[in-house]
Structure 1
Amino acid sequence: MDSLELKTILERLIATWENEVVEFKQAGNDYDTDKIGEYFSALSNEANLRGSERGWLVFGVNDKTRTVVGTNYRPEPERLHGLKTQIAQNTEPSITFRNIHVLSDEKGRVVLFEIPAAPRGIPIAWKGHYYARAGESRAPLGLDKQDEIRHQTLAMDWTAQIVPGATLDDLDEAAVCKARESFAQKYANRITLEEAMSWPLTAFLDRARLTQEGQVTRTTLLLLGQAESAWRLSPHPAQLTWSLEGTERAYEHFGLPFLLNTTQLYQRIRNIQLRILPQHELLPVEVPKYDQKIVLEALHNCIAHQDYSRNGRVVVTEQPDRLIFANEGGFFDGQPDEYVEGTKVPRRYRNPFLAQAMAELNMIDTMGYGIRDMYVGQARRYFPMPDYDLSEPGAVKLTLYGGVVDIAYSRLLIQKTNLPLADVLALDRVQKKLPIPDEAATRLRKGGLIEGRKPNYFVSAVIASATANKADYIRTRAQDDEFYAKLVMDYLEQFGQASRAEINTLLLDKLSEALGAEQKEKKIGNLLTKLRRAGRITNTGSRGQPLWRLAE
């Protein structure tokens, strides 16, 4: 948003004044982060309850005179936006600001924190406590409001339903013990294992979001139930299946409790050490065929996102060189590529009750990082990237490779451990004979990483070491936007102002040579817009002839 849009929003917020989804503070540079976290929880929960997409916490406005007075809260942009990480680390489930806007008003600097509404069915806590608003004051989120949020999806959430006749006697003691350990591990900064072990069972299960007011839910049985109690979930089979294919064939079904039996399934997978011989070296690099963390991440994702109303199993098929994970139900929110790129945070869950319980037991995260972590983990092991197959309606398949597809690709990753993930993803597509964008092809070719003609590229068997080739690669490799942003900020700090032509002169020869002239112009324009929206620079000229200065 530009300054005019932000000013319009600020005027509208001041006109309606403080309500359950807006809070004004004058705020100094050292305003307590814990208080911000409590307001985040309160405004997020209230936005959910009132059907609003967002809440607002505004710094720089006097809450008595209703006038802009300015704030010096975290004037450094990097430190200000670092608050996003602090909020994400202490909210449960982990979410953070949708955006942090800075408005340079004539009366002073105003910071507008845009807070997303709590996801349907899941209230937001700050350091284990839920907050709400009582008029203009911050207050604990009462049980009535917690229930109102949680009941938003209970009727449609298969995993949240109470199981008739089920009692705590249906739970597996070892699974309960493991659940207490996992819960204490997640909250190790404020809960000891001894404390978690001492809680009454009903209190622990409610706190871990496994039960509803002491009543056993389908989630409770799925994660902690005894194998003998699986019939209570009928007609759902409540099973995970491991199937071995190849010269040998075998299978095994794993029932309740899933908290323990995902590890049991993993132990059935034949996980030998593989050797990869680097180029021009005599000693091989040894890596396990599969990484336990990656396998369990994939399996736990299947459990969390399974469409249980379809009465199907989660199936893990082991082939000689790969694992294929299949679960019922289409990809629920967004596309896999968005999570790999790190641009997507899930806003909806097919099974919110189950997802929250699994997050409490440290089985999954709720920020969408798990998919990206699987890809990064495979790259660090020099193996091909995972593949998602969404071609079958109502099902998701994930292929996890446990072997080398192209030895040149694996040797390249051994030699170049600092390749950006975008380059690794492009190289992975090359080794799988899949198309890549022209821009990526140009960048990889100039870096000596691929050879051949479009569309028949292949990973270079010998990595070029000539200085010229290295220089070509650096010139064509795109830098992070923050690298270019710092150049602009340093220039403005040194010279006070800059026209678009001066900024073009500063940046054009530093952008990737894989970009054309028009693409470079567009990238600079996007960068300036991003800096303006972040409140780091301001245009004191006109739209046609901008004159950029540092925002005050």
Structure 2
Amino acid sequence: MDQPALNALLEALISTWENEIVEFKQAGNDYDTNKIGEYFSALSNEANLRGQERAWLVFGVSNKTRGVVGTNYREEPERMHGLKQQVAQGTEPSVTYRDIHELQHADRRVLLFEIPAAPRGIPIAWKGHYHARAGESLGSLGLDKLDEIRQQTLAQDWSAQLVPAASLADLDEAALARAREAFAQKYANRFSADEVMGWPLTTFLDRARLTQSGRVTRTALLLLGKPESVWHLSPHPAQLTWKLEGAERAYQHFAPPFLLTTTQLYQRIRNIQLRLLPQDELLPIEVSKYDQKIVLEALHNCIAHQDYTRDGRVVVIEQPDRLVFENEGNFFDGAPSDYLEGNRIPRRYRNPFLAQAMAELNMIDTMGYGIHDMYARQAKRYFPMPDYDLAESGAVRLTIYGSVVDPAYSRLLIQKTDLPLADVLALDRVQKKLPIPDEAVSRLKRAGLIEGRKPRFHVSASVAKATGNMADYIRTRAQDDEFYAKLITDYLQQSGQASRADIDKLLVDKLSDALTPDQKQRKIGNLLTKLRRRGRILNAGSRGKPEWKLAE
């Protein structure tokens, strides 16, 4: 929001004053971070309960005068960014401010912390304690409110359902040990590893959001269940499938515990080292064909967002140059493009109980960073961006590339490591011959990264020279009209006359590859018309069957 919009927002918040989703503080530079976390938890939970998208914590407004007094809280940008990280580390599940707006109100600095509502079914805790509001007061989240939030999706959440016939004996010992390690690592700033390892099993499983009061859920069986205990989930298949396509064919199915078997599936993928040779350098850059973190992020997302009621399995197809991930269920909250910049926080989950448990075990985050991180890591490896295909009815298909599509694109990323992700995404679409928005076209052209005519853009001449891609540039570069006119008149001088088909045969291969076939036809027609009007050629035939000759 710009300054006028922020000023209007502040005036509106002051006019209604404090309530369950608005809190004002004068706040000096040393305001207690722990208190901020408590307010974050309370305001986020209250926004959820009231069906609001956000709540506000405002610094720089006096409670006594209800007027703007300004604040010097964390004036350094680095310290303000550090606050976001502190809040993310102290909350369960890990969330942070949607944005921190800075307003200059009559030369006084005001901070407006935009706090996202807790996701449906998932209350937000600060350092293990849930907070709420009672009017303007801060307090604990009562059991009635806690139950109200948790029951928002519990009845509809497939992953939260209890499995009466299952017991703790159905859980895999190795998976349980790994789960404790992951939980202890996530909360190392709050619990020692020895403390987590010493908890009774039922205490740990409840704390990790895997069970309900010690009773086994479908989530617990998916993540920690023994392979022979999968029958408890019948008729819903709990299975991951790896399939190798190409000159060789192979496949393998993986059952729970998914906490362990996702890594086993990754180990089946042929992840060789590739060499990328920068222009004018003798030493190649070595990168793995696939990044382990990207692969596991994609696979864990498939597990977390799978629609298990559709009785399908998660499939990973390994092709010679890419991996394709498929899971049942439409993209649940928004579209993949909404999460590319890492700013959108998911409001809803298909399987909120499963998502929260996976977050507790460090398998996913619940902030919407996963997609952004996959794209950013792929860019740092100089590879094409992932592609989402939502066209197939009721399924999500994600492609992760393990090879170079256009060497010029990869060499450009090697040379220009500071390109914004938005520019990398646009250049990726250019290399894949996909359309890009007009705004991106203007931006890339101003930067000298692309040239050509819509829709066939290509790497510009300066970048082509830098990347050794001059052959492609020459094929797509447009020549001056006089060059093509000279070709026509020279041809007519030698042959005496030419039909339109003869002229087409002469010019089509010489026109820019950036033009479509229709554009090439129109270009040739315009050239002939221009030469005729200048009196340099004439049509000795008919309009339908022209015979072009040089004018006397």
Could you state the TM-score of these two structures normalised by the residue count of structure 2? Answer: 0.78
SS in 2 for 1:312: coil
SS in 2 for 1:384: coil
Partner AA of 1:360 in structure 2: E
- Structure 1 residue 175 displacement after superposition: 0.4
Partner AA of 2:341 in structure 1: E
Residue number in structure 2 paired with 1:7: 11
Residue number in structure 2 paired with 1:302: 302
Partner AA of 1:6 in structure 2: L
- Structure 1 residue 291 displacement after superposition: 1.0
Give me the whole-angstrom Cα distance separating, in 2, the residues matched to 1:414 and 1:75: 36
Q: Deviations over 1:356-387 (max 9, x none)?
A: 11111000111111111111111111111110
- Structure 1 residue 439 displacement after superposition: 4.2
Residue number in structure 1 paired with 2:192: 192
- Structure 1 residue 165 displacement after superposition: 1.4
Summarize the alignment of residues 401-420 of structure 1 with structure 2, pairs less than 5 Å apart.
401-420=401-420
Aligned residues of 1:30 and 1:73 also touching (Cα < 8 A) = no
Q: Which ranges of structure 2 fall in alignment gaps of 5 or more residues? A: 467-552
Q: Percent identity at matched positions?
A: 74
Aligned residues of 1:22 and 1:57 also touching (Cα < 8 A) = yes
- Structure 1 residue 433 displacement after superposition: 1.2
Residue number in structure 2 paired with 1:70: 69
Summarize the alignment of residues 172-321 of structure 1 with structure 2, pairs less than 5 Å apart.
172-321=172-321
Instruction: Call closer, same or farther: CA 1:39–1:196 in 2, change over 3 Å.
Output: same
Residue number in structure 1 paired with 2:327: 327
- Structure 1 residue 71 displacement after superposition: 4.3
Summarize the alignment of residues 10-409 of structure 1 with structure 2, pairs less than 5 Å apart.
10-13=14-17, 18-63=18-63, 65=64, 67-68=66-67, 70-74=69-73, 76=75, 78=77, 82=81, 83-100=83-100, 111-134=111-134, 136-409=136-409
SS in 1 for 2:57: strand
Instruction: Call closer, same or farther: CA 1:7–1:172 in 2, change over 3 Å.
Output: same
Q: Deviations over 1:136-194 (max 9, x none)?
A: 43223244432221111101110011112111001000000000111111112222222
- Structure 1 residue 223 displacement after superposition: 0.3
Q: Which ranges of structure 1 fall in alignment gaps of 5 or more residues? A: 467-552
How many pairs align? Answer: 461
Instruction: Call closer, same or farther: CA 1:110–1:376 in 2, change over 3 Å.
Output: closer
Instruction: Call closer, same or farther: CA 1:437–1:304 in 2, change over 3 Å.
Output: same
Q: Deviations over 1:291-330 (max 9, x none)?
A: 1111000000111111111111000001111100000111
Residue number in structure 1 paired with 2:456: 456
Instruction: Call closer, same or farther: CA 1:247–1:51 in 2, change over 3 Å.
Output: same
Which is worse superposed, 149-158 or 435-444?
Answer: 435-444
Which is worse superposed, 101-110 or 400-409?
Answer: 101-110
Q: Does 1:425 align with 2:425?
A: yes
SS in 2 for 1:9: helix
Which is worse superposed, 104-113 or 208-217?
Answer: 104-113
Instruction: Call closer, same or farther: CA 1:23–1:436 in 2, change over 3 Å.
Output: closer
- Structure 1 residue 108 displacement after superposition: 7.2
SS in 2 for 1:457: strand
Query: Which structure has the larger Rg over C-alpha atoms?
Result: 2
Aligned residues of 1:328 and 1:395 also touching (Cα < 8 A) = yes
Aligned residues of 1:28 and 1:71 also touching (Cα < 8 A) = no
Instruction: Call closer, same or farther: CA 1:243–1:458 in 2, change over 3 Å.
Output: same
Give me the whole-angstrom Cα distance separating, in 1, the residues matched to 2:49 and 2:453: 57
Instruction: Call closer, same or farther: CA 1:448–1:267 in 2, change over 3 Å.
Output: same
Instruction: Call closer, same or farther: CA 1:458–1:190 in 2, change over 3 Å.
Output: same
Q: CA RMSD in A?
A: 2.5
Aligned residues of 2:408 and 2:464 also touching (Cα < 8 A) = no
Give me the whole-angstrom Cα distance separating, in 1, the residues matched to 2:212 and 2:77: 42
Give me the whole-angstrom Cα distance separating, in 2, the residues matched to 1:267 and 1:291: 12
SS in 1 for 2:333: coil
- Structure 1 residue 278 displacement after superposition: 2.1
Summarize the alignment of residues 386-535 of structure 1 with structure 2, pairs less than 5 Å apart.
386-445=386-445, 447-459=447-459, 463=463
Give me the whole-angstrom Cα distance separating, in 1, the residues matched to 2:444 and 2:53: 42
